[in-house]
Structure 1
């Protein structure tokens, strides 16, 4: 059944590509080239002129670094706030205010403070991705079964042992949900941060192709972002499925 469902998905995708090819070939609009032309431009765009090592890999490195820093900060802070209702009440207005500010609007601020450097892109990704991780970690820590916490108190399990043995496993489903949402946001911010004032990266290559009227190449970079998003989400879903295999009722 699993293979049948997978085959149906790819069959639908193939039908979509064929329809796209037929419509774009019939219309002949230069701004919307057919998939065959995009595929032909993709090889040179992704791997020619050192693009893979000079643009794709650095973009992925900045994406992962910003996302990982958000995870390393958001999870422990979220767990701490989730188990301290009083402290959460104090900081929640500030958290929701900061969360309401789109990271894209802060591009001028990041450029002014950090300059046209990779750390600006990393900081932008970090700011945009930390909120879903932080808030989901808070929610996960709040949902821990009180019976488990009472058991920890009875057996005098405190500190790191209680966090690693009780809080983190119980909050893990919601933490992973926040991490997956943050990863999708990180991909968007990776591209946006490379559209202004930089000379490398996927976003730079895409906007450069658009400025030079290389529309098949521009679409090739858009396709690459979509493929990367799909693969990274699938990879994280596999990690989540293995990490939460013990969780009753978890299906991924």
Structure 2
């Protein structure tokens, strides 16, 4: 593929990614332009207020703590989910033993556990990290279990016949084969983590994006509150793009295999 061809594909992809958000912003701008409702300010007012609210100092005092808690809770959920999912998916008896408990715990909404977690973890950062991890772990765990279970039996038998067992089998066969499913769970967990980050910061917090949005709402600073919502939307978009770049990098072999399969049809 020539460099010009690559730039053309990149430009077309950028247009597809940005077209819908641009259309929605334009519709929001037009729909709210003449609004006199205090709870539905014009978008131009929100945009004008944005740089006055989200200064460098506020980004350091509110956005950075939120990102830190999200990163810690998300990484904790990823490690625990992949480790337990690999164990449960590899052994049928372990899976049969754990499945009822997993289904019960998965059905419990993580926000309901916030008061309970506060009793044991206090009201500091540890509580918020545990809340985020408690919600993010399930999509990672369940997708890992399914990915490990779906490993090709032929490849498993081939590895066994060549004496590839233990950590070598785990690192060269099981985890690579299950990695598409694992990344699907990680993608789901990312959106759940952002939601739980905000919810956890609404309980007994002194900083963070969720805390700041609630403070704006309680003081009837409605345009400022809407700027916080915009920050959350932009944060989710940026994290999604970063995740896609990492996924493309790690699963390059998988996407290349799918592309070659489509071309051969």
TM-score tier after normalising by the smaller chain length: over 0.9
1:4 to 6, 9, 12: 12
**2:175 equivalent in structure 1:** 168
Q: How does 1:88-237 map to 2 (within 5 A)?
A: 88-237=95-244
**Within the alignment, does 1:84 sit opposite 2:91 as a pair?**
yes
> How far off its partner does 1:28 sit?
1.8
Unaligned runs of 5+ residues in structure 2 are 1-8, 261-265
Native 8 Å contact 1:114 1:120 kept in 2? yes
Distance 1:232 1:132 in 2: 18
Task: Go from structure 1 to structure 2 and tell me whether the alpha carbon gap of 1:250 and 1:241 turns closer, same or farther (over 3 Å shift).
Answer: farther
Output the TM-score relative to the length of structure 2.
Answer: 0.90
**Displacement, 1:197?**
0.9
Report how far residue 9 of structure 1 moved. 4.6
Q: Is the 8 A contact 1:46 1:56 kept in 2?
A: no
Corresponding position of 2:36: 28
Look up the match of 1:41: 49
Structure 1 runs of 4+ with >4 Å offset: none
Q: Deviations over 1:196-217 (max 9, x none)?
A: 2111000000000011111111
Contact 1:58 1:201 survives alignment (8 Å): yes
CA drift of 1:19 comes to: 2.3
Deviation at 1:5, TM superposition (A): 4.7
**CA 1:8–1:93: 2 relative to 1, 3 Å:** closer
CA–CA distance in structure 1, aligned partners of residues 141 and 16 of structure 2: 37
Q: Does structure 1 retain, via aligned residues, the 8 Å contact 2:33–2:43? A: no
TM-score under structure 1 length normalisation: 0.94
- Counterpart residue number, 1:249: 258
Report the 3-state secondary structure (helix = DSSP H, G, I; strand = E; otherwise coil) of the residue aligned with 2:119.
helix
CA contact (8 A) 1:133 1:179 kept: yes
- Equivalent pairs, count: 250
